[in-house]
């Protein structure tokens, strides 16, 4: 069964909303890359991507995304959102954007861009992985 880009976008967001690293990683191709620019080195492959997601959830167990805009095309998703959560005892909120490349109903690359200036002003330096 072929999944539409819109269905994949909603399922992918649903995985993040549920903080389900396994479900999110399963939507990536075997050789997919997830790069959080300025925050972490690129993770390549499902296992590494799942590890990166688990690390993020471990840092911010109440991580939440509020979609502002969603754009879909035949082979891509672009998403703007507000990201919020609690890091240690500090609640934060910052803007974020994802550019997601797709092929054969799977994510082949995800590039995440966060307002790191706003984030670090709220939580201090971004933890390294």
CA distance 111 to 68: 17
Number of domains in the chain: 1
What pLDDT score does 126 carry?
A: 78
Q: Is residue 129 part of a domain?
A: no
What is the arithmetic mean of pLDDT over 5-31? 96
Computed over every residue of the chain, the mean pLDDT equals 95
Indicate the pLDDT class of residue 127, thresholds 50, 70 and 90.
confident
What mean pLDDT is predicted for residues 9-28? 96
| DSSP category for residue 41 | P
Inside any domain, residue 110: yes
Residue 42 lies in a domain: yes
In a domain, 23, yes or no: yes
Identify the pLDDT of residue 106. 96
Q: Is residue 128 part of a domain?
A: no
Q: Which residues pair with 34 in a beta bridge?
A: 43, 110
Domain with 26 in it: what CATH number? 3.10.450.50
30 in a structural domain: yes
Q: Report the b/e string of 82-118 with b at 16+ CB within 10 A.
A: ebbbebeeeebebebebebbbeeebbbbbbbbbeeee
Is pLDDT of 1 > 70? Answer: no
- The two three-digit tokens of residue 100, written as one number: 């997601």
Angle at 23 between CA 18 and CA 26, to 5 degrees: 155
Q: Domain limits at 33?
A: 5-123
| DSSP letter, residue 129 | -
- Residue 46 domain flag: yes
Confidence check: pLDDT of 75 > 60: yes
């Amino acid at each position: 069964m072929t999944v539409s880009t819109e269905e994949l976008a909603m399922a992918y967001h649903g995985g993040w909303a549920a903080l389900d690293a396994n479900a999110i990683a399963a939507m990536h191709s075997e050789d997919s890359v997830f790069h959080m620019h300025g925050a972490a080195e690129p993770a390549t492959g499902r296992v590494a991507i799942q590890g990166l997601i688990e690390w993020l959830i471990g840092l911010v167990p109440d991580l939440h995304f509020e979609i502002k805009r969603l754009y879909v095309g035949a082979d891509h998703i672009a998403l703007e959102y507000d990201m919020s959560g609690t890091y240690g005892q500090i609640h934060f909120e910052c803007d974020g954007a994802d550019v997601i490349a797709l092929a054969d109903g799977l994510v082949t690359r995800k590039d995440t861009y966060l307002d790191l200036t706003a984030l670090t002003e709220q939580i201090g330096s971004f933890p390294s992985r």
